[in-house]
A and B are shown apart, each in its own frame.
Chain A
Amino acid sequence: MTQHTTTRDGLSVRGVGKSFGSGGRAVSVLRDVDLEIADGEFVAVVGPSGSGKSTLLNAIAGFVEPDDGEILVNGEPVRGPGPSRCVVFQEYAIFPWLSVRKNIDFGTRLRAWRGSKQERARVTARYLDMMGLADFADALPKTLSGGMRQRVAIARAYAVDPEILLMDEPFAALDAQTREQMQEALVDINQRERRTVLFVTHQVEEAIFLADRVVVMSARPATVQEIVDVPWGDRRTHEIKTDPDFVRLRRRIETLLRSSAH
């Protein structure tokens, strides 16, 4: 087995394939997907809608078992879902019966979390603050807007300190303005915290704005078509979206997507 040939930290996806259904009606969704994400890197995955973006994320999360290939996190093969790969879902999946604070410390109250009580309180306060939720700590989710709910989901995910954060189109259900605010909030928290992030989106602009690298998937069965480096480093302000280089990059990726979605 080639399981431990890499000493590199982060995520390795090697030759992953996945089909759904069986026999003649089987649909191949992923084929021979290779992807390496280094520790601390922010990688966005874009692809035509209906391609295997979310399936890839679900495979990394452990919800879906690949038919071929392997997925390693820090050299350890993925077996089922776990807190090393925390997911922020597209649908609001914060727990409606818990206050904002209790949502955020849900993970740090579980047995899987190793830390003291004081640490838990510190972590919770820190992410409440960082996501601008301090004034809503005791509010119930039903009183929050969609953007606020996703802030809670992001804070909750950072709080368990995962090896990699998986974000499955977390802003897709938000209006354009809220979406931009959330992108900026995410840039902000991640520049301070620097976690490994895999961010699935169908919006090319969002992908370039957030990520260090953009993985362009082909149509089904999805495979990695191209990986594009994004050159702005930590300079992620609103203005770069209208920078000619940004626009050029965006056009290039959109052309790639169109050509693959024949």
Chain B
Amino acid sequence: MTGADARTNTAAPDGTRTMPTESAPATGRTSRARSGNRSGIGAMLGRMGLGAAGFAVVIAAWQLMAVGEIFGEGLLPTPVEVGRVIVDGLGDGLLDDLLISFRRVLVGVGLGLAIATPIGFVLGWFGIARAMFNPLVNFLRALPPIALVPLVIVYFGIGELSRGIVLVWAAFFATIVIVYEGVASLEEKYVRAAQTLGANRFEILTKVVFPLSVPHIMTAARVSLGIGWASLVAAELVAAQQGLGAVIQNASNFLDIPTVYAGIVLIGISALVMDVGIRMLSAYVVRWQDRGTR
């Protein structure tokens, strides 16, 4: 039983059994609560098992709906058909589309983060700058990046630049707010401690404010990646020859519904993979954080 394994493994390090006689779902809860720490491999496998079970439920429901033809004949492919399209397609150009979308998201979100982080620092650190730009940032942030697509196309055409601008925009505004609110809410005591040890303003910024902001930057990266995928696909749907959004758009023109599903599934998988990656990176980078303060 993975559930039982997870329980004994998480309970072992400090010798306390939090819920000794609980059933499997409760075990999932304990292991999630402890996931910030070095929880055992068993606990991790248990979590992954439960996650996989969630997918299994949805895929089973999908299979039933497809076989039952509830949308009419041939309009909902079965999971197996979609899987075959993915496997075949990956050997035949689909992989390129996947990689192109992947790269666009990474570059766009990376640039957005890189631009927004220092500006977020300035806004968080200087009250006057924050008072001046906070309303503006919130106005611009409220605009869905997708709403920019038509304008961007008018000004910059349908090339890589346009999609890049939409992505950078999306990541920029997601990041800047998280970073400046993080910087503005830093615990004063650390700044004071650094001052009495002799740190000048620059050293406080680089040696105290920056490390304390890393958790916020990681959060911003995670949020930005999510928004990035959504925005990218929207941009690709409208104007692109390549990329997963374009795959979906082209397939729908030919009513090739299995390929539409294949594109959607690949987008989901890509976003999931990136999210897992950023979470693993984050767990490593901010391993100093006390779980109690998370």
Residues of A participating in the B interface, judged by any CB pair closer than 8 Å: 61-63, 80-83, 85-87, 89, 91, 93-98, 106-107, 110-113, 140-142, 153, 156-157, 160, 166
Contacts and interface: CB of A to CB of B under 8 A. Distances in A.
Contacts of A80: 195
Contacts of B288: 96-98, 140-142
A87 B193 contact: yes
Interface string B223-255: 000000000000000000000000000000000
Contacts of A112: 198-200
Interface of B: 189-190, 192-200, 203, 207-208, 211-212, 214, 286-291
A91 B189 contact: yes
Find the residue from B192, B196, B290 having the highest chain A CB count within 10 A: B196
Dominant SS among interface residues on chain B? helix
A61 B195 CA distance: 10
Dominant SS among interface residues on chain A? loop
A92 B200 CA distance: 21
Contact of B193 (A95, A141, A142): A95
B253 to A, nearest CB: 52
B208 A61 contact: no
A91 B187 CA distance: 11
Contacts, number: 74
Given A97-B211, A97-B288, A81 B190 contact: no
A98 B197 CA distance: 15
Contact of B198 (A83, A95, A166): A83
B189 A110 contact: no
A84 to B, nearest CB: 9
Nearest to A112: B198
B198 A63 contact: no
Contact of B192 (A81, A83, A110, A140): A81
Nearest to A165: B196
A153 B211 CA distance: 19
30 contacts: A63-B192, A81-B192, A81-B195, A82-B196, A83-B196, A83-B198, A85-B196, A87-B196, A91-B189, A93-B189, A93-B192, A93-B193, A96-B288, A96-B290, A97-B211, A106-B194, A106-B207, A110-B198, A110-B199, A110-B200, A110-B207, A111-B200, A112-B198, A112-B199, A113-B198, A140-B287, A140-B288, A142-B289, A160-B198, A166-B196
Contacts of A87: 192-193, 196
B197 A89 contact: no
A87 B199 CA distance: 13
A160 B197 contact: yes
Given A87-B192, A110-B200, 17 more contacts: A63-B192, A81-B192, A83-B197, A86-B196, A89-B193, A91-B189, A93-B190, A95-B190, A95-B208, A96-B288, A110-B197, A111-B198, A112-B198, A113-B198, A140-B287, A153-B193, A160-B198
